[in-house]
Amino acid sequence: MHKYQNISAPVIKRLPRYYRFLGELLDKGVTRISSRELSQKMGLTASQIRQDLNCFGGFGQQGYGYAVESLYNEIGNILGLDHNYNTILIGAGNLGKAVAVHMSFEKRGFRLTGIFDNDKSKIGTKIRDIAVSDLAELEDFCKNNNTDAAILCVPKEAAPEIAERLYSLGIRNYWNFSHYDLSVQYQDIVVENVHLNDSLMILCYRITDAYEDQE
Ligand code: NAD
């Protein structure tokens, strides 16, 4: 059972941002910070910060503030970043390559162990020291290498069949960039969907809203 299972989803959602800010403070050699200072830097209210951080043990001490390193480590523990979940990526196109190259998997709880594609011109090429494998080898690879999670960077049309193969192999954790809605088909999976276009549309809505307010 997860030690921190009572933390609410909105708080969990804010943790990566706390983690990032605290990491930057650590890099600058800051050892402690008050909730007021932290709130100013993060654009949150001090009481919001106190409420959030109290959820997992109240690290702040009256008159001392927060010990940056222990708070940073504790948030890392809550997020489980010390895990090394073995992860494969499917679809070594523009997006898949960018994800493979730019994500610091090891610092975020994951280890990229394999990259797969079905395009003969890509198979054997190296991304991040990992040679792209033929998707035909997926079953063999997963039988020989314990695999915890999969990243989907394939077109929507290709995703259902690939998802079915991954699911049959027992893979239940997905970072999904494809526009195929995995959770409709599979209810017992953990999935984080990333849709940059959704974010762009929300930006569009908010800009439109702001312009209309000015009229
Ligand atoms: P791309 O064409 O450069 O790459 C797609 C890769 O998938 C190719 O290497 C292709 O060979 C491989 N592929 C296709 N069918 C396959 C199959 N059946 N088995 C194995 N590999 C297969 O495209 P891209 O720009 O990398 O984008 C990939 C997909 O991700 C697109 O369909 C796009 O809609 C989606 N996308 C999502 C986001 C997001 O924010 N979620 C952002 C950009 C793109």
Q: What are phi and psi of 176, to 5 degrees?
A: -110, 110
Ligand 1 site-directed mutation target among 103, 153, 157, 180, most atoms within 8 Å of CB: 153
Ligand 1 site-directed mutation target among 117, 181, 193, most atoms within 8 Å of CB: 117
Q: Which CATH architecture has domain 85-198?
A: 3-Layer(aba) Sandwich (3.40)
- Specify the residue with its C-alpha closest to ligand 1, atom 1: 93
Determine the distance separating the centroid of ligand 1 and the alpha carbon of 92, expressed in angstroms.
7
- Specify the residue with its C-alpha closest to ligand 1, atom 2: 93
- For the chain, give every domain's residue range: 9-79, 85-198
To the nearest 10 degrees (0 to 180), the angle between helices 35-42 and 46-54 is 110
User: What would the pLDDT profile of 1-27 be if each residue is shown by its tens digit?
Assistant: 566 667 888 889 999 999 999 999 999
- Specify the residue with its C-alpha closest to ligand 1, atom 11: 119
CA-based torsion, 166, 168, 174, 180: positive or negative? positive
Q: Which residues line ligand 1 (CB under 6 A)?
A: 90-96, 117-119, 122, 135, 153-156, 158, 162, 177-179, 194-196
pTM equals 0.92
- Cα(174)–Cα(151) distance, rounded to whole angstroms? 6
Looking at CATH, the fold of the domain delimited by 9-79 is given as Arc Repressor Mutant, subunit A (1.10.10)
Q: Are 127 and 145 in contact (CB under 8 A)?
A: no
Read off the pLDDT of each residue in 114-125 and give the average, rounded to a whole number: 98
User: What would the pLDDT profile of 52-111 be if each residue is shown by its tens digit?
Assistant: 887 766 565 666 788 899 899 999 999 999 999 999 999 999 999 999 999 999 999 999
94 closest CA partner among 151, 153, 177, 149: 153
